Amino acid sequence: MADPLRVVHYINQFFGGQGGEEAAAAPVSLSEGPMGPGRALQQALGADGRVTHTLICGDNFFNERTDEALAAITAHLETARPQVVVAGPAFGSGRYGLACAQVCLAAQKLGIPAVTAMDAENPGALNHRTQVVMVPTGETAAGMAEALAGVARLALKLGRGETLGPASREGYLPQGRRVPFDRGRPGHLRALDMLLDKLHGRPFQTEVPVQMPDRVAPAPPIADLSRATIGLVTTGGLVRKGNPERAVSRMASRFHRHSVKELESLSGNDWEAFHAGYFNHIVNSNPNYILPLSFMRDLQRMGAIGDVFEWMYALPGVGTSVANSRVMGREIAQDLKAGGVDGALLVST
């Protein structure tokens, strides 16, 4: 029988027995052998793997001094030379989840495969699940045994250099990649099976799942509009006449911002639409149809709003990937917040 795989386990100060919040500032430390949930991990690994070391770091230390924590962890991993790294499970704990995900990324940078486990809504999963193998768990440690069983199975596979199959089969969070495998039955027959199941009201599993959009908690309303600064954003492809910034007309990966500080209205002499998804000629005659500056200035004069934010933001919203949309949306939102904006209107063609 082959030697057991060398496993290094990362846990936080709580699971490491150092304490709760009062110990969350604890720096990175390394101990030999398994600790806390590592003992159950060791049991789940059986004779195939051996937890040689446990890395412990306080959740606050990791998240406040991330570079320092990762440098220490990287140094320990280089010394301990594990064949696979296990982090967590972090369940619903946000700081711990972020730490686990980043420890896995650090291991992967060293060429060491890694696996963690957490709730699918954990910020660590929301930010890193496309880059790190994550076993889904519930929000609390009640699911520890089940989580560790999944983690141990995947850790052994990864440590042996095996390629993982699809997420749904292997039991990790989908990473947004397609992994082909043989289903043992041709597509047209599977489609007919599915149709029959549907017609008979039997459960069936689609092979083309639709990615559900993110849910964003609604922001609270503005208490006093008459003092509020309102930002304007459009996905209608608004550009300066002649498009001197050379904005694209589709599949945007960046947005442009323009000052409207001195403007009362948008004139077709100075602005136009450059957008591959609709006929632009009406907007070209009156760009306020997609960025309602003229109306906003009137509302400002009437005292309905306090001010129009000095910058407006524009991009063509056609063929844009969800990933790019998310990045641009975040950047625009950060800019608006940094500028003291209280609310925004987004006009979408």
Partner 1 sequence: MGIPVGMISAIYELPLNTGANRVIRGARIEHVCGDPALGPEKDYAYGMRIVKAAIETLQTPVERPTLFNPLEMDPLPHLATAEAPHAT
Kindly list the residues in this chain that would bind partner 1 in the complex (CB under 8 A).
213-223, 225, 228, 230, 233, 236, 264-265, 278-280, 282-283, 285-286, 288-290, 292, 294-299, 301-302, 304-305, 333, 336-337, 341-349
Is the CB of 47 or the CB of 223 nearer to partner 1?
223
- Residue closer to partner 1 by CB (options 187, 220) is 220
- Closest to partner 1 by CB, 41 or 273: 273
Reading the block at residue 304, the tokens are 């309905």
Distance CA 39, CA 9 (A): 10
Map 128-179 to HEC letters: HCCCCEEEEECCCHHHHHHHHHHHHHHHHHHHCCCCCCCHHHHCCCCCCCCC
- C-alpha closest to that of 143 among 60, 18, 40: 40
Of the pair 25, 333, the CB lying nearest partner 1 is at 333
Query: Other C-beta atoms within 10 Å of 141: how many?
Result: 17
Minimum CB distance to partner 1, residue 93 (Å): 22
Given a contact cutoff of 8 angstroms between Cβ atoms, the answer to whether 104 and 78 are in contact is: no
Least distance CB 267 / partner 1 (angstroms): 9
* Burial (CB count <10 Å: 0-12, 13-18, 19+), residue 93: buried
Residue number with CB closer to partner 1 (181 or 279): 279
Neighbours of 165 (CB within 10 A): 14
Whichever of 142 and 304 has its CB closer to partner 1, that residue is: 304
Nearer to partner 1, 50 or 297 (CB): 297
DSSP code of residue 209: P
For residue 48, the minimal CB distance to partner 1 (Å) is 44
Q: Is 340 left (phi over 0), alpha (psi -120 to 50) or beta?
A: left
Beta carbon of residue 128, minimum distance to partner 1 (angstroms, whole number): 21
CA distances 74 to 14, 70, 124, Å, are 21, 6, 19
The per-residue DSSP string of 287-340 comes to GGGTS-HHHHHHHHHTTSSSEEEEEEEE-B-SS--HHHHHHHHHHHHHHHHHTT
Q: Tell the smallest beta-carbon distance from residue 178 to partner 1 (Å).
A: 22
Shortest distance in whole angstroms from residue 308 CB to partner 1: 11
Work out how close the CB of 318 gets to partner 1 at its nearest, in angstroms, rounded to a whole number. Answer: 11
Cα 1 off chain centre by: 41
Q: Which is nearer to partner 1, 67 or 224 (CB)?
A: 224
Q: 99 and 12 in contact (C-beta within 8 Å)?
A: yes
Q: In the structure encoding, which two tokens stand for residue 305, read together? A: 């709003």
CB of 287 to partner 1, least distance (A): 9
Using the structure block, give the residue that is written with the tokens 């699940």.
129
